[in-house]
């Protein structure tokens, strides 16, 4: 009864489509009437992807800087970072996250070490650009992953801030 197969089978039964309990379309229709579809030239997408690759390098540089500073291990920080809110791409109709405050905190929490502070600034820029990229490609899983890694790295650097506990 407790086999992996039976468990997976049982869990899969929880899946599948679920129709909303109420009609959602009228609200959606009202909202999209106020928010016409954006016309994004497709040629703009490739530069976003190139930028994402560049950002990956920036994140790597941040990691190297952090490791070079001789504190903590990357694995140690991964889980808390993913629990932390990131400055999100605003989604129409959702409350803009309380992340504005988080971002503000991140902005001023620069490490004392100038080299780390520069890396932190780069990561902040990277985070902002990734959010822009997500606006263009809202389904792009790898961009969400990059954004998470950027913010995880930034949180590690924030812990080196003179204001950090």
Interaction mask 135-164, another protein, x per CB under 8 A: xxxxx-xx-xxxxxx-xx------------
- Shortest distance, position 112 Cβ to another protein, whole Å: 26
Interface with another protein: number of residues (CB under 8 A): 71
46 is a contact residue toward another protein (CB under 8 A): no
Q: Per CB under 8 A, does 53 bind another protein?
A: no
Choice between 42 and 162, CB closer to another protein: 42
**Shortest distance (Å) from residue 86 CB to another protein:** 6
Nearest-angstrom CA–CA distance, 48 and 46: 5
Part in contact with another protein (CB under 8 A); list of ranges 31-39, 63-71, 109-117, 119-127: 31-39
- How far apart, in Å, are the Cα atoms of 3 and each of 7, 8, 10, 12, 36? 6, 9, 11, 14, 51
Q: Angle 45-68/141-158 helices, nearest 10 degrees?
A: 30
The minimum distance between CB 114 and another protein, in angstroms, equals 28
Q: Is 45 exposed, middle or buried (0-12, 13-18, 19+ CB in 10 A)?
A: middle
CB of 62 to another protein, least distance (A): 14
CA-angle at 133, arms to 127 and 137, nearest 5°: 140
Q: In 132-152, which positions are buried (b, 16+ CB within 10 angstroms) versus exposed (e)?
A: ebbebbeebeebbebbbbbbb
Are 76 and 128 in contact by the 8 Å Cβ rule? The answer is no
Residues 88-107 that bind another protein (CB under 8 A): 88-89, 91-94, 97-99, 102
Q: Which stretch binds another protein (CB under 8 A): 23-31, 49-57, 63-71, 114-122?
A: 23-31
């Amino acid at each position: 009864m407790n086999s992996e197969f039976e468990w997976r089978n049982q869990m899969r039964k929880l899946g599948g489509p679920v129709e909303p309990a109420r009609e959602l379309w009228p609200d959606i229709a009202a909202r999209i009437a106020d928010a016409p579809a954006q016309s994004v030239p497709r040629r703009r997408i490739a530069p976003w992807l190139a930028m994402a690759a560049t950002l990956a390098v920036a994140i790597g540089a941040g990691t190297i800087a952090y490791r070079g500073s001789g504190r903590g291990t990357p694995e140690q920080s991964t889980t808390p970072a993913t629990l932390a809110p990131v400055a999100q791409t605003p989604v129409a109709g959702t409350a803009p996250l309380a992340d504005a405050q988080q971002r503000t905190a991140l902005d001023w929490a620069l490490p004392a070490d100038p080299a780390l502070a520069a890396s932190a600034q780069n990561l902040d820029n990277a985070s902002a650009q990734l959010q822009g990229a997500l606006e263009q490609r809202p389904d792009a899983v790898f961009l969400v992953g990059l954004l998470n890694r950027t913010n995880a790295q930034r949180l590690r650097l924030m812990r080196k801030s003179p204001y950090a506990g």
